[in-house]
């Protein structure tokens, strides 16, 4: 079949590489893709939020199945739009996408269904913020309600800071919403748990730990993610059972009762404290860079799984995983997550010899006059598989040193939690 993949980051390069392996895939088209996908698929340069234009291309290329990578088109209703136009599509619809698109919606769903999460208050006026501060402890987490490209969350250590950030959001700092969610600060260790779901069932789809802060030792501002590894050893069988019973099942049931069953990947962002999982956030898609460590571990046919999910026949599929571990380190442009250097050629990428267990996924890159140039803040995801996280990381850093590009930086401490706890892990 002809498959259309929406998005152009590292996550989409990883999805594209896996889709190509499928016995169901005849051709794959990336909208818009990046330099990495251009080597293995056909890139179509299009604004993915212009649904009508996108539809024209999908029809022109006779696309049989659309897979959506990023959250924005999902939250804006691309699934509803394509279904209305009789195109088979994988991903949650507009209503279910509110799990990520509106933090107020997600928190209310948690409250109504006793899902463990941080105590919170939805505020639309400063007076409500001041009231919360009277009873709430510091630090307090201030969150913009709508999508904010990873920039909507601030952990505040003073009441003054809470007021300042709240005022900025009320004044319209983020176009998506002027509402805020105030939350108590959760202690513990963060981990991500993934499932794939259709109307009738769900399946485990990997676990990972990301590194959100830009600097080593988890310092500096938040980013989209500086590196990840899979699996997340903190999620043992006992914790997994709690995640499923206290978080996954009540959420899927709540949406089913509202006649909007969840279909697609669901990213469950967790804080684990003393053996108890608390939901921090839902993302209605695979993580980036988590996808880049989860998919290389998947043994089964991804398109078969996705296709069955769109037909509500997920329970028919076998989903098998490799026992090997994986890690990715994100090579960023200097300046990221602030203003970063752009349009710099990466000269020798294609001459680097990669072994079977080594992959370089492209994120913010494009082809310009036959050269690979950097376009985004997160540029490349250097990924490797193996038996031991310490050795995997050493191998990734060895590969990064081979890349002839002087405009980047990366964290050398990805995986510090697992590597520190147990050198042999
Ligand atoms: P979110 O977009 O909700 O995932 O928040 C981004 C990041 O902020 C999370 O990955 C956490 O590191 C942090 N964070 C969000 N909410 C909380 C909370 N209630 N307690 C502690 N950290 C939080
Ligand atoms: N890596 C975090 C995310 O995809 O939201």
User: Domain locations in the chain?
Assistant: 2-94, 119-184, 189-316, 325-421
3-class DSSP state of 111: helix
- CA–centroid distance, 352 to ligand 1, in Å, is 37
- CA–centroid distance, 168 to ligand 2, in Å, is 24
pLDDT at 423: 55
Mutational test site, ligand 1, from 132, 141, 225, 285, max ligand atoms within 8 Å of CB: 141
Atom of ligand 1 nearest to the CA of 152: 2
Q: Which ligand is nearest to the CA of 9?
A: 2
Topology of 2-94 in CATH?
Rossmann fold (3.40.50)
Q: Which residues have C-beta atoms less than 6 Å from ligand 2?
A: 210, 224-225, 283, 287-288, 290
pLDDT at 150: 73
Q: CA–CA separation, 55 vs 53, rounded Å?
A: 5
Atom of ligand 2 nearest to the CA of 150: 5
- CA–centroid distance, 219 to ligand 1, in Å, is 15
Confidence of residue 424 (pLDDT cuts 50, 70, 90): low
Percent of the chain's residues with pLDDT above 90: 92
Q: Is the pLDDT of residue 26 over 80?
A: yes
How many whole angstroms from its chain centre is CA 414? Answer: 17
Q: DSSP per residue over 355-395, as a string?
A: -TTEEEEESSEEEETTEEEE-SSEEEEEEEEES-HHHHHHH
Topology of 119-184 in CATH?
Dna Ligase; domain 1 (3.30.1490)
Atom of ligand 1 nearest to the CA of 278: 19
Ligand 1 in reach of 153 Cβ (< 6 A): yes
Tens digit of pLDDT for each residue in 310-367? 999 999 999 999 999 999 999 999 999 999 999 999 999 989 999 999 999 999 999 9
Q: Atom 15, ligand 1: which residue's CA is nearest? A: 280
Tens digit of pLDDT for each residue in 170-179? 988 887 778 9
pLDDT at 422: 59
* Arithmetic mean of pLDDT, 215-228: 94
When the pLDDT of each residue in the chain is averaged and rounded to a whole number, the result is 95
Q: CA–CA separation, 381 vs 330, rounded Å?
A: 5
**Domain 189-316, architecture per CATH:** 2-Layer Sandwich (3.30)
Tens digit of pLDDT for each residue in 118-150? 999 999 999 999 999 988 788 999 999 988 877
Percent of the chain's residues with pLDDT above 70: 99
Q: pTM of the entire structure?
A: 0.96
E-state strands within 245-404: 264-273, 276-283, 325-333, 358-362, 365-368, 371-374, 378-386
pLDDT at 421: 61
Of 391, 406, 261, the C-alpha closest to 334 is 406
Instruction: Name the token pair of 138.
Output: 């510091």
What 234-239 contacts at long range (C-beta under 8 Å, 24+ apart), as own/partner pairs, is: 234/189, 234/191, 234/209, 234/272, 234/417, 235/191, 235/193, 235/207, 235/272, 238/275, 239/272, 239/275, 239/277
- Return the CATH class of domain 325-421: alpha beta
């Amino acid at each position: 079949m002809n498959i259309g993949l929406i998005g152009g980051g590292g996550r989409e390069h990883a999805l594209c590489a896996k889709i190509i392996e499928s016995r169901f895939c005849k051709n794959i088209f990336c909208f818009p893709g990046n330099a990495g996908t251009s080597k293995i698929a056909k890139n179509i340069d299009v604004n993915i939020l212009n649904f009508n234009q996108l539809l024209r291309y999908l029809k022109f290329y006779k696309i049989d199945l659309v897979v959506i990578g990023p959250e924005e088109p999902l939250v804006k209703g691309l699934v509803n739009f394509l279904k209305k136009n009789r195109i088979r599509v994988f991903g949650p619809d507009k209503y279910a996408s509110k799990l990520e698109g509106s933090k107020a919606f997600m928190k209310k769903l948690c409250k109504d269904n006793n899902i463990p999460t941080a105590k919170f208050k939805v505020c639309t006026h400063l007076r409500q913020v001041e009231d919360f501060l009277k009873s709430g402890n510091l630090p307090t987490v201030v969150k913009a309600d709508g999508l904010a490209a990873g920039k909507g969350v601030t952990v505040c250590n003073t009441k003054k800071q809470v007021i300042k950030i709240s005022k900025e959001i009320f004044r319209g700092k983020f176009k998506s919403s002027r509402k805020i969610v105030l939350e108590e600060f959760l202690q513990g260790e963060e981990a991500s748990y993934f499932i794939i779901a259709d109307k009738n069932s769900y399946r485990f789809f990997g676990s990972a730990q990301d590194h959100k802060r830009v600097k080593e030792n988890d310092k500096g501002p938040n980013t989209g993610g500086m590196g990840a590894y899979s699996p997340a050893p903190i999620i043992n069988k006992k914790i997994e059972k709690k995640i499923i019973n206290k978080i996954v099942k009540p959420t899927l049931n709540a949406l089913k009762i509202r006649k909007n069953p969840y279909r697609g990947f669901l990213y469950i962002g967790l804080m684990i404290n003393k053996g108890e999982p608390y939901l921090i956030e839902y993302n209605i898609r695979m993580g980036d860079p988590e996808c880049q460590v989860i998919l290389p571990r998947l043994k089964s046919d991804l398109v078969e799984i996705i296709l069955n999910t769109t037909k509500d026949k997920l329970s028919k599929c076998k989903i098998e995983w490799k026992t090997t571990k994986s890690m990715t380190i994100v090579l960023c442009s200097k300046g990221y997550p602030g203003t970063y250097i752009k349009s710099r050629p990466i000269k020798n990428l294609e001459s680097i010899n990669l072994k079977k267990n080594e992959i370089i996924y492209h994120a913010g890159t494009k082809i310009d006059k036959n050269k690979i140039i950097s376009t985004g803040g997160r540029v490349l995801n250097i990924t490797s598989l193996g038996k031991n996280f310490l050795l995997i990381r050493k191998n990734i850093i060895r590969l990064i040193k081979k890349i002839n590009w002087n405009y980047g930086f990366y964290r050398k401490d990805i995986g510090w939690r697992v590597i520190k706890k147990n050198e042999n892990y």
